[in-house]
Amino acid sequence: MILDIKNLDVSIANKEVLKGLDLKVNKGEVHVIMGLNGTGKSTLLKAISGSYETVSKGKMDFLGESLLELSADERAVKGVFMSFQNPIEIPGVNTIYFLRTAVNEQRITRGEEELSSVDFMKILQEKMSFLDIDKAILQRSVNVGFSGGEKKKSEILQMMMLEPQLLLLDEIDSGLDIDALKSVAKGINALHSSETAMIIVTHYNRLLEYVKPDFVHILDQGKIVKTAGAELAKELEDKGYENVLETP
């Protein structure tokens, strides 16, 4: 099992958002979490990746080891990656420099050798052309002045460079045109393997036409209240939450 969450309570600013949440994710699985606004979907991803905002209680094991005592960067080095719904701007720091620092910091912490500039550039160029990203963003400050599409593609690029084992995608499909959505989906599928797993938070079915989920969960009032296969997302889109949740 890659992620084992049991009876998890999470609060933000002393307000309880998740109450007794259970979620098991095995290697190779794609989980989708849907739910109305404010039900705690983003909070769950933030809690898994180790945000300062969240205070978590309960069980949260990643590959058999508890994540709760680890800082966000320690979790990242172990293989957890979150793409942000609204990626944060860092003025004055080049995207390429940011990427290289992240890649090499993770390698150093794991006791591996740093990637040379040449090797790094080679890998980076491959991934960029795969995702159809304009090279110009490399010299621009992280997320500063990026379009919505560029931000999301840059998140996927970072994810591909860091090769995480657990992918947490927070509304990666919001604000994307159809071409950008396809590129993003392509990147996500490229990382989908028998060794990785992902949790996708989304409001829409459209990403799921490209990325096939194994499970769709509905989050409501801090808990997972319904779990089914890919068909649930379709049903939600057709009928709306109220009707789906009322059906036993």
Partner 1 sequence: MAQDIEAFIDQEYKLGFETDVDMDQAPIGLNEDIIKLISKKKDEPEWMLQWRLKAYTKWLKMSEPNWAHVHFPPIDYQSISYYSAPKQKINSLDEVDPQILKTYERLGIPLEEQKILAGIAVDAVFDSVSVKTTFSENLAELGIIFCSISEAIKDHAELVQKYMASVVPMGDNYYACLNAAVFTDGTFAYIPKGVRCPMELSTYFRINALNSGQFERTLIIADEGSYVSYNEGCSAPMRDENQLHAAVVELITLKDAEIKYSTIQNWYPGDAEGKGGIYNFVTKRGKCLGDNSKISWTQVETGAAITWKYPSCILLGDNSRGEFYSVAITSLAQQADTGSKMIHLGKNTSSTIISKGISALKGSNAYRGLVKIRPQAHNARNFTQCDSLLIGDKCAAHTYPYIDVKNPTAQVEHEATTSKISDEQLFYTQTRGISEEQAISLIVNGFCKEVLNQLPMEFAVEAKALLSITLEGSVG
CB-wise, 72 or 225, nearer to partner 1? 72
How far is 232 from 229, CA to CA, in rounded Å? Answer: 6
Buried b (16+ CB within 10 A) or exposed e, 92-106: eebbbebbbeebbeb
73 binds partner 1 (CB under 8 A): yes
Question: DSSP labels for 143-197?
Answer: TTT--HHHHHHHHHHHHHHH--SEEEEESTTTT--HHHHHHHHHHHHHH--SS-E
Only segment of 14-22, 80-88, 210-218, 225-233 that touches partner 1 (CB under 8 A): 80-88
Only segment of 58-66, 92-100, 178-186, 188-196 that touches partner 1 (CB under 8 A): 92-100
Residues 6+ away with beta carbon under 8 Å from 52: none
82 binds partner 1 (CB under 8 A): yes
Give yes or no for a contact between 33 and 54, defined as CB atoms under 8 angstroms apart: no
Give yes or no for a contact between 82 and 94, defined as CB atoms under 8 angstroms apart: no
CB-wise, 151 or 226, nearer to partner 1? 151
211 binds partner 1 (CB under 8 A): no
146 binds partner 1 (CB under 8 A): no
Q: Which of 68, 93, 121, 225 binds partner 1 (CB under 8 A)?
A: 93
90 binds partner 1 (CB under 8 A): yes
CB-wise, 66 or 109, nearer to partner 1? 109
52 binds partner 1 (CB under 8 A): yes
How far is 141 from 91, CA to CA, in rounded Å? Answer: 5
Instruction: Output the six-digit token pair for 158.
Output: 């970072």
Only segment of 10-18, 68-76, 123-131, 200-208 that touches partner 1 (CB under 8 A): 68-76
What are the CA-CA distances from residue 144 to residues 90, 91, 98, 161, 242 (Å)? 7, 6, 13, 20, 39
Instruction: Output the six-digit token pair for 52.
Output: 């300062």
Q: Which of 7, 26, 109, 129 binds partner 1 (CB under 8 A)?
A: 109
116 binds partner 1 (CB under 8 A): no
- List of residues contacting partner 1 (CB under 8 A): 49-53, 71-73, 75-77, 80-82, 84, 87-94, 97-98, 100-102, 105-106, 109, 141, 158, 162
